[in-house]
A and B are shown apart, each in its own frame.
Chain A
């Protein structure tokens, strides 16, 4: 049962084939069995989960029914959860217990979902391998010597290994899509502003966006139906009607215009991964889509511009961790400055400190025009490239990552790690919706197909993803060796 999708589990719960308490217990048992080797969860909420499951069963007995009622899920540990530790993968927040729920958490709770626990992540979501977590790296269930990707690596590993039915993630430069690709699952980043950021610990405020990490595009649509929409508490949340994302999943793709960026099929792309992407494109042609090569001439500048914008915003956001109001404080500070400096140096890991320093430098007196302003100008050029492309095509498709999951410790140089997100980062800079879904495995490891839509084309992206999943079984492949149970 635990390997099933949310849509299937929801039907089983509605038919009375299983109770939410039984289902929740099955996931908790599986977590006990595998979390030690995968390190996907930082916190497991056994008692709270069973209590939520019991409440869901009672609600169902009273006649309530909704797609997420009684569904056991995992929250990335970047979302504040009242009464449960929220660490953001950092020593700084090791013992932080939020006094409130993030809007995403509140909405999922209200929909009757069961929170199994909080998933591991790169520290403050800064990383592409989950190796920067203070709580140790997460392992990829397809091969525990390999990384799950990052920063939402715990959520991706947990979904792939059936340690939950579905999970939340956040994506600033690829942090939902790249781990979804590495773990062989579906990860969806909505348009900027579509899902509330309130209570989601800030990394780069003009880029951060929450979304589902799931076993299918259909499941992603079901979660989007709950978490999307205006939130008065987030001033960047967009006031625009929310579609029923499940309603258009089965729309025909006949006549769909797919653009493939020539920059995403160039040097650096692994040949086997490319073949998997081309095989998926051939499936789309069978479904009536046409494929055109498109040009994103400024794509190669996206990583450079991102590593100004994101660190600059991070350096401002992370200035709040000063050892005064919450979080870690160093022992025996000599004076106020010593307290600030030692608190921050002891509380943050190396990658977070590097990014704070790069951002501080970019924003410091005399450098603003050369760095932050320049990066924002390039951001405009990147957005214009997409605007031009979407005059000719409905969606843009390519690989999510240039290769499959790499081994732990393989990339120690930060710049090499930054180039991991070469295909995903431009989408954040432009604020567009993008999904990664499994294409055919390469060398026994999952690959990711990246589908990008125009502003607020969430429904179209999910429709295009779902149609591939209806006609292929790549998303149903499971890691061998973990043991599949009923």
Chain B
């Protein structure tokens, strides 16, 4: 199915991506092409076919609900763009 520019802008917002006006047409066309490729799926009747989520149809192993991770806050916060007092800093969200 063909998408229009406003739909692409809506998807970009859902994905938290910014699409500039200059890119919008190009992005819309490319995604429309990809959806056309995907739509070849619709030619097959899959009624009653059980979806395959895992290639081997197995479910994930469970483990006892115990803490296995050590506290590595300092190591991990060293990777962050901005931290303060052990917290991750982001732009102000509450006025």
Chain A interface (Cβ < 8 Å from any Cβ of B): 96-97, 99, 191-193, 206-207, 232, 235-236, 238-239, 298, 300-301, 303-305, 307-308, 315, 319, 322-329, 333-342, 344-345, 348, 353-354, 356-358, 360-362, 364, 370-371, 373-381, 383, 413-415, 418, 428-432, 455
Residue in contact with A353 in the complex, picked from B3, B17, B56, CB distance below 8 Å: B17
For window 66-95 of B, CB contacts with A under 8 Å fall at 72, 75-76, 78-82, 88, 90-93
Can you identify 26 A-B contacts, CB atoms within 8 angstroms?
Answer: A97-B79, A99-B79, A191-B56, A192-B56, A206-B53, A206-B55, A235-B61, A238-B56, A328-B81, A335-B92, A336-B91, A344-B15, A354-B27, A354-B34, A358-B38, A373-B51, A376-B52, A378-B41, A378-B46, A381-B44, A383-B52, A383-B55, A414-B33, A415-B33, A429-B55, A455-B56
**Cα-based distance from A126 to B61 in the complex (angstroms):** 29
**Cα-based distance from A339 to B17 in the complex (angstroms):** 10
Inter-subunit contact A345/B30 (CB<8 Å): no
Task: Name the distance in Å between B95's Cβ and chain A's nearest Cβ.
Answer: 10
**Cα-based distance from A99 to B92 in the complex (angstroms):** 29
**Cα-based distance from A376 to B76 in the complex (angstroms):** 36
Given contacts A99-B79, A324-B80, A374-B42, whether A236 and B31 have CB atoms under 8 Å apart is no
Contacts of B60 on A, CB cut-off 8 Å?
A: 235-236
Inter-subunit contact A304/B91 (CB<8 Å): no
Contacts of A191 on B, CB cut-off 8 Å?
A: 56
Given contacts A97-B79, A415-B37, whether A324 and B56 have CB atoms under 8 Å apart is no
Residue in contact with B90 in the complex, picked from A326, A336, A344, A345, CB distance below 8 Å: A336
Inter-subunit contact B91/A338 (CB<8 Å): yes
For window 36-63 of B, CB contacts with A under 8 Å fall at 36-42, 44, 46, 49-56, 58, 60-61, 63
Inter-subunit contact A345/B31 (CB<8 Å): no
The residue on B at minimum CB distance from A193 is: B56
Asked if B11 is at the interface (CB within 8 A of a chain A CB), the reply is yes
Contacts of B30 on A, CB cut-off 8 Å?
A: 354, 414
Given contacts A305-B41, A336-B90, A344-B16, whether A381 and B72 have CB atoms under 8 Å apart is no
Contacts of A381 on B, CB cut-off 8 Å?
A: 44, 46, 49
Contacts of B27 on A, CB cut-off 8 Å?
A: 353-354, 357
Determine the main DSSP class of A at the interface with B. Answer: helix
Chain B interface (Cβ < 8 Å from any Cβ of A): 3, 8, 11-12, 14-19, 27, 30-31, 33-42, 44, 46, 49-56, 58, 60-61, 63, 72, 75-76, 78-82, 88, 90-93
The residue on B at minimum CB distance from A355 is: B34
Inter-subunit contact A378/B34 (CB<8 Å): no
Contacts of A236 on B, CB cut-off 8 Å?
A: 54, 60
The residue on B at minimum CB distance from A192 is: B55
**Cα-based distance from A362 to B81 in the complex (angstroms):** 32
Contacts of B8 on A, CB cut-off 8 Å?
A: 357
Inter-subunit contact A324/B55 (CB<8 Å): no
**Cα-based distance from A305 to B46 in the complex (angstroms):** 13
**Cα-based distance from A315 to B39 in the complex (angstroms):** 19
Contacts of A358 on B, CB cut-off 8 Å?
A: 31, 34-35, 38
**Cα-based distance from A353 to B41 in the complex (angstroms):** 23
Inter-subunit contact B93/A361 (CB<8 Å): no
Contacts of A322 on B, CB cut-off 8 Å?
A: 16
**Cα-based distance from A371 to B3 in the complex (angstroms):** 15
Inter-subunit contact A323/B40 (CB<8 Å): no
Closest 9 CB pairs of A and B: A431-B55, A376-B51, A377-B46, A329-B81, A326-B79, A380-B52, A341-B18, A377-B49, A340-B16
Given contacts A236-B60, A374-B41, A374-B42, whether A334 and B18 have CB atoms under 8 Å apart is no
Inter-subunit contact A413/B80 (CB<8 Å): no
